[in-house]
Amino acid sequence: TRLLVLLFILLTDMWVGTPTKIRGSEEGSVSIDCPYESDDKYLCRSDCRQDADVLVRSTETTKGRYSTIDDKKKRIFTTAISNLSSKDEGRYWCGVTKTGFDKYPSEVSLELSVGKILDNRGKQGR
């Protein structure tokens, strides 16, 4: 029984880690970095079980407000989201296409602030 509990905890941690928090402002943009894997990658919302939940794939450079960079040297898949609105707040998942079951190595929580974000010198940032 203890072995099963330990196995469950380890598997749960692999699937559901602590989400990375990202802050943005309305009408601004953010970048979401995902760990690199050689398979096709994508960014999704909701439970990521349907194709409609996928926002953009690594095979696409732009799709609406989403743009991607697949940096093979740095091993980072980056998705930029532009023209943010309040409906963009929430959780996102970095997905990796695998045979059988896709993998979700990281989770991101996006929070938006009202108005423009100021840098540490009080100047308006992007």
Torsion of CA 56, 60, 64, 66, to 10 degrees: 60
The backbone torsions φ and ψ at residue 15, rounded to the nearest 5 degrees and listed phi first, read -90, -35
pLDDT of residue 2: 52
At residue 104, the 3 state secondary structure works out as strand
pLDDT of residue 15: 47
The residue to which tokens 């905890």 are assigned: 9
From first to last of the 126 residues of the chain, give the pLDDT tens digit. 554 444 444 444 444 567 889 999 999 999 999 987 788 999 999 888 888 999 999 999 999 999 999 998 898 999 999 999 999 999 999 999 888 888 888 899 999 987 655 444 444 444
pLDDT of residue 91: 93
Would you mind telling me the total number of residues written for the chain in this entry? Answer: 126
Contacts with 77 (C-beta within 8 Å, 6 or more apart), sequence order: 33, 34, 35, 36, 41, 58, 68, 69, 70, 71, 94
pLDDT of residue 115: 62
For strands 30-35 and 62-63, give the pairing. Answer: unpaired
> Residue 107 forms beta bridges with which residues?
93
42 closest CA partner among 15, 17, 12, 78: 78
> What domains are there in the chain, each with its CATH number?
19-113 (2.60.40.10)
Torsion of CA 115, 121, 124, 126, to 10 degrees: -100
pLDDT of residue 4: 44
